[in-house]
């Protein structure tokens, strides 16, 4: 049963001046709040390794943000913004990025009232010669709601669509920064370990990590693994319903390797799993329910938003993950590719994640609900009040926290 939770209960006053509109010069110079069983301390992010247990498994989301914002102009002069969300034809991200003439994407259209149909051309004001040579056009295939329009992109010169976006697109920084994308965002709104293109928002908990931090974690014997969940535009969507049960989560694609799943199955008692960010957390926790599907249905499907709350399962984490490994072995697969719409709210029972590295999130957001669920009770208020009273910077370019479940 969906929990009856009022989103208003997860509100707090966030002054505009506490929102970090730009990153610090050095990634790991951010402040670090440490919460452990009711006790709060603070330090700097570059000391993170001193807070992480030896032999822990730290999990990162290695998705890469794409320059998903494109600007076009109609013959009438009307400006049209197209925000690429997810590939439609072909549906596979890698195949879509590899196309060299055309491809179709699910998009959000800005100034949609001005575009009834037909083709629009790339806005060439201040465009480079390379962009002009592409002759990039967009054709409206299906006009739907804010998340349902489909556009066909066409271009010349033989470049891949990945190169087209790099040449013509802009990095989609969060709207709450209240500024345009700037040159520094192309570097700083990416993690150092970003690898697989597909996200329209960064997994921002990872923005603080540097080679120095990685070296110290390695020296301590902390194991590092990656998953890949492509973050959708839904991460920017505020909860508008009075009750969270009426809020619709968008599903997001993710993949994990069989080798990583086998590592989870081989964890020793007491060995901690540390998720870097809410996207890694949602991926790891989704694995449990995909394993349940393998046990009970013979194959994994997708994790529905409220699936974790409709039934209590007695399977252990290792039994569930082991069922996925068996499914992959039986089908000759070396990785799991799936989708999840999981929402983590108070009353959720964590199966995989023991510790969480995360930034400070917006009021009345699904991310804040996840933090509340992870910490238990109203401990999130204690942490956020401390952060507000002690000069912490908030949201994507803000400071970090390390949360340890009791």
* DSSP state string for 262-311: HHHHTPPTT--EEEESHHHHHHHHHHHHHHHHHHHHSS--EE-TTGGGS-
**Residue 147, pLDDT score:** 58
The answer to whether residue 357 sits within a structural domain is yes
Q: Is position 394 within any domain?
A: yes
Is residue 177 included in any domain, yes or no? no
Residues 316 and 194 in one domain: yes
**Considering its fold, how many domains does the chain have in total?**
2
Quote the CA–CA distance of 341 and 361 in Å, as a whole number: 19
pTM for this entry: 0.95
Kindly report the CATH number assigned to the domain that includes residue 88.
2.40.10.240
81 CA to centre of own chain: 22
Put residue 158 in one of left, alpha, beta given phi > 0 → left and psi -120 to 50 → alpha.
left
Same domain, 92 and 214: no
pLDDT tens, residue order, the chain (406 aa): 788 999 999 999 999 999 999 999 999 999 999 999 999 999 999 999 999 999 999 999 999 999 999 999 998 899 999 999 999 999 999 999 999 999 999 999 999 899 988 899 999 887 899 999 999 999 999 988 655 799 999 999 889 999 999 999 999 999 999 999 999 999 999 999 999 999 999 999 999 999 999 999 999 999 999 999 999 877 666 788 999 999 999 899 999 999 999 999 999 999 999 999 999 999 999 999 999 999 999 999 999 999 999 999 999 999 999 999 999 999 999 999 999 999 999 999 999 999 999 999 999 999 999 999 999 989 999 999 999 999 999 999 999 999 998 7
Question: 264 and 210, same structural domain?
Answer: yes
Domain boundary, last residue among 139, 169, 199: 169
- Is residue 241 situated within a structural domain? yes
Of the residues 113, 141, 169, which one is the last residue of a structural domain?
A: 169
**182 domain-assigned:** no
Clarify whether residues 56 and 73 are in a common domain. Answer: no
Residues 28 and 88 in one domain: no
163: nearest Cα among 71, 66, 83:
66
Find the domain containing 101 and state its range: 69-169
* C-alpha to C-alpha distance for 234 and 127, rounded to whole angstroms: 30
Same domain flag for 74 and 196 = no
Exposed, middle or buried by CB within 10 Å (0-12, 13-18, 19+), for 195? Answer: exposed
Q: Is 1 inside any structural domain?
A: no
Cis status of the peptide bond prior to 244, with omega within 30 of 0: no
Structural domain ending residue among the three candidates 109, 137, 169: 169
> Do 197 and 50 share a structural domain?
yes
pLDDT digits (tens, 9 = 90+) for 195-224: 999 999 999 999 999 999 999 999 999 999
The per-residue pLDDT for range 106-143, each reduced to its tens digit, is 999 999 899 988 899 999 887 899 999 999 999 999 98
Per the domain annotation, does 2 fall within a domain? no
| CA-based radius of gyration for the chain | 22
* Same domain for 359 and 215: yes
State whether 268 and 300 are in the same domain.
yes
What is the spatial distance between Cα 204 and Cα 190, in angstroms, rounded to a whole number?
8
Q: Is residue 174 part of a domain?
A: no
Are 222 and 246 in a shared domain?
yes
Q: What per-residue confidence (pLDDT) applies to 250?
A: 86
Looking at the fold, whether 87 and 219 belong to one and the same domain comes out as no
pLDDT of residue 350: 97
Same domain, 80 and 37: no
Task: Specify the CATH number for the domain of residue 255.
Answer: 3.40.1780.10
Query: How far apart, in whole angstroms, are the C-alpha atoms of residue 257 and residue 53?
Result: 24
């Amino acid at each position: 049963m969906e929990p009856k939770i009022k989103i208003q209960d997860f509100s707090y006053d966030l002054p505009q001046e506490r929102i970090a509109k730009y990153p610090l010069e050095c990634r790991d110079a951010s402040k670090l709040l440490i919460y452990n069983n009711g006790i709060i301390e603070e330090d700097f992010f570059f000391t993170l390794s001193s807070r992480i247990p030896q032999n822990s498994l730290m999990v990162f989301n290695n998705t890469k943000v794409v320059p998903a914002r494109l600007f076009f102009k109609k013959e009438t002069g009307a400006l049209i913004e197209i925000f690429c969300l997810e590939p439609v034809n072909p549906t596979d991200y890698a195949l879509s990025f590899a196309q060299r003439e055309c491809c179709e994407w699910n998009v959000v259209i800005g100034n949609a009232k001005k575009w009834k149909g037909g083709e629009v051309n790339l806005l060439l004001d201040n465009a480079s010669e390379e962009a002009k040579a592409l002759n990039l056009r967009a054709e409206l295939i299906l006009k739907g709601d804010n998340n349902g329009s489909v556009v066909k992109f066409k271009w010349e010169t033989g470049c891949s669509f990945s190169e087209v976006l790099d040449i013509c697109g802009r990095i989609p920084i969060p709207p709450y920064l209240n500024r345009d994308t700037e040159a520094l965002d192309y570097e700083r709104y990416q993690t150092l370990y970003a690898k697989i293109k597909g996200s329209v928002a960064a997994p921002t908990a990872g923005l603080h990590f540097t080679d120095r931090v990685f070296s110290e974690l390695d020296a301590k014997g902390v194991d590092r693994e990656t998953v890949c969940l492509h973050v959708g535009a839904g991460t920017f969507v505020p909860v508008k319903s009075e009750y969270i049960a009426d809020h619709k989560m968008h599903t997001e694609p993710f993949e994990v390797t069989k080798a990583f799943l086998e590592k989870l199955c081989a964890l020793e008692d007491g060995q901690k799993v540390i998720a870097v960010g809410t996207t890694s957390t949602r991926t790891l926790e989704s694995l449990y329910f995909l394993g349940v599907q393998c046990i009970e249905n013979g194959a994994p499907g997708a994790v529905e938003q409220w699936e974790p709350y409709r039934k209590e399962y007695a399977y252990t984490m290792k039994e569930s993950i082991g069922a996925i490994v068996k499914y992959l072995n039986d089908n000759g697969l070396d990785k799991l590719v799936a989708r999840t719409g999981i929402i983590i709210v108070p009353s959720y029972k964590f199966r995989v994640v023991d510790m969480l590295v995360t930034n400070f999130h917006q009021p009345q957001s699904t991310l804040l609900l996840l933090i509340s669920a992870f910490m238990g009770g109203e401990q999130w208020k204690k942490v956020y009040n401390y952060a507000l009273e002690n000069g912490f910077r908030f949201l994507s370019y803000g400071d970090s926290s390390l949360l340890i479940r009791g």
